[in-house]
Structure 1
């Protein structure tokens, strides 16, 4: 299986499991406070990972490319949308929506991510991927419509879809810096977003819960937001934004399955119809193949790499033959044919 697919599915499992576990804390902790604790737990956990990783013996360097000054505006936008607004909207939505339905509604993140990637950031797509997204959209509409007789306007579903839009913007902005250190990106997002959300909660008069709940939220945040985001950024490197979002659409099924087992929810027929539609949409994504002759234009960048078909370059320093390694390098023009995704080396236009 392609490495990027493994990263994306790992991100999906971690994030999907976080939704029902977060639901267990929603009634005990204010939504804004919970969002802050989740992200702060993510940031602190990844900060510890980052520090331990830099303590390599004999002055060895890590095989990752750190963020640079031009990356910071993209990171700031990702933090504002995905790290601050998105989690608050999700926690508000969970107060009005069953966790199983909320988990499936989170599939809208993949759809909105793909729409922005295709029509704003000009990433390529084909009929098969579009058909899969259409099935996921239909399933999301069904789940939202199911709430109307009970709640009037489905405010819970709309809040969750709003969170998905925030994360979709976040995903597309993060793709611009995905060649950099995934732990550094996710850790900074967690620390900043968690601090801001927690400050807002305290300013609104909400108090911190007891230590037991703070620790529980921190652990859920580290796994469901921190480690998940690290895997997601790595997947962006290899798959591009829309495909990563498509594979990530498996997350809600993990969350829904845990919700049914852990919370004892008993969803109706609409839920199962929606689940079937979403499953069919994801299957179309998972079985996609993309191969054609394409042209690589000359480019220079920095990221961890091996000397594969796309990395034939000389070194202007003494190299110890260890791979992967990190240094600024230049790609020469290259034309060839092979199966590929729109990763950091395949962002070329298509004529069809």
Structure 2
């Protein structure tokens, strides 16, 4: 009976729109970040990205998004915000807002963006493993098969590209691991308003990165470079996080992470299109293997029991679900 009703729903109603949008927005950031790594030092670039992310919350002010806070107190984390939530937010800022982007930018400095994007599929692997080992999420045989295939695809791509004199794959694995930790930490923040989380994460990351950037040396980029960096941050690190958190509130952290795993393919495709990076047979085979792996992970998620979601205290959000 429930299956029949699910099949009767329109196709668009069954598509996890929020998680796919988050994947697309974040996937855009990698190919557009690559040229900037030659113009801006890594710490300064990360600072501009998260400074720009503050502008990414503006689309979230549209009432239809269902993300508007009920009161101004929510913006200041006043009221019912628990110490655990504040600690989780700080950890998310450090891991996902400072360390992970620094690792990604460092990797992009000397490594092809298309290959680096595919290596970021390791985030799906790490997200599932962390959710299973640390947070007790159940894993089925399909998800286990997907984990094995992701490991194989990333391993083959990393090994062969290292032989081709491309250095820096370890930074992508580090970034993937840090963002996987961040993804699971964000489960503790799903009760909070996504706009508030994005604001604090962007501001906190910028405040932590700015002193590091000042110590790394003076900034010498042009106004155009600054604007481009802020735009990448607004779209790829700001609005994508709003949409990502909205997805977690709707379908849970692991399913969101599984769908978000398609973002590396978007980044890889755009890198090939806009940057003109070469395509090898190993790249094609690894991309196909990783796509199969992510698809299998998604199939495993469909066979899992629906995760218990933390209810929203914002009526507009609940009604929009």
TM-score clears 0.5: yes
2:299 pairs with 1:303 = no
Give the drift of 1:305: 5.0
2:289 pairs with 1:277 = yes
Q: Is the CA contact 2:34–2:108 (under 8 Å) kept in the aligned structure 1? A: yes
Task: Report the counterpart of residue 226 of structure 1 in structure 2.
Answer: 238
Stretches of 4+ moved more than 4 A in 1? 1-4, 64-67, 291-294, 299-302
Cα RMSD (Å): 2.8
SS at 1:224's partner residue? helix
* Structure with a larger share of its residues in strand: 1
Specify which of 15, 21, 25 is matched with residue 26 of structure 2.
15
**Who wins on radius of gyration, i.e. which is larger?**
1
Tell me, in whole angstroms, the C-alpha distance in 1 between the residues paired with 2:241 and 2:310: 26
Deviations 1:206-246 (A, max 9, x none): 41512111111111111011111111111212232222111
Tell me, in whole angstroms, the C-alpha distance in 1 between the residues paired with 2:113 and 2:52: 22
Task: Report the counterpart of residue 246 of structure 1 in structure 2.
Answer: 258
Specify which of 278, 290, 299 is matched with residue 303 of structure 2.
290
Specify which of 10, 22, 25 is matched with residue 36 of structure 2.
25
Task: Report the counterpart of residue 339 of structure 1 in structure 2.
Answer: none
Greater mean deviation of Cα atoms: 255-264 or 234-243: 234-243
Greater mean deviation of Cα atoms: 141-150 or 1-10: 1-10
Tell me, in whole angstroms, the C-alpha distance in 1 between the residues paired with 2:306 and 2:258: 24
Task: Report the counterpart of residue 337 of structure 1 in structure 2.
Answer: none
Deviations 1:158-203 (A, max 9, x none): 0111011111111111111112111111121111112322321111
| TM-score normalized with structure 2 length | 0.84
Task: Report the counterpart of residue 156 of structure 1 in structure 2.
Answer: 168
Tell me, in whole angstroms, the C-alpha distance in 2 between the residues paired with 1:108 and 1:12: 14
Give the drift of 1:3: 6.8
Q: Is the CA contact 2:104–2:175 (under 8 Å) kept in the aligned structure 1? A: yes
Alpha carbons of structure 1 residues 266 and 78: separation in structure 2 relative to 1, 3 Å: same
* Structure with a larger share of its residues in helix: 2
Deviations 1:83-104 (A, max 9, x none): 0000001000001210100111
Alpha carbons of structure 1 residues 32 and 49: separation in structure 2 relative to 1, 3 Å: same
SS at 2:136's partner residue? coil
Structure with greater contact order relative to length (CA < 8 Å, sep ≥ 6): 2
Unaligned runs of 5+ in 2: 1-11, 64-68
| TM-score normalized with structure 1 length | 0.77
Tell me, in whole angstroms, the C-alpha distance in 2 between the residues paired with 1:137 and 1:126: 17
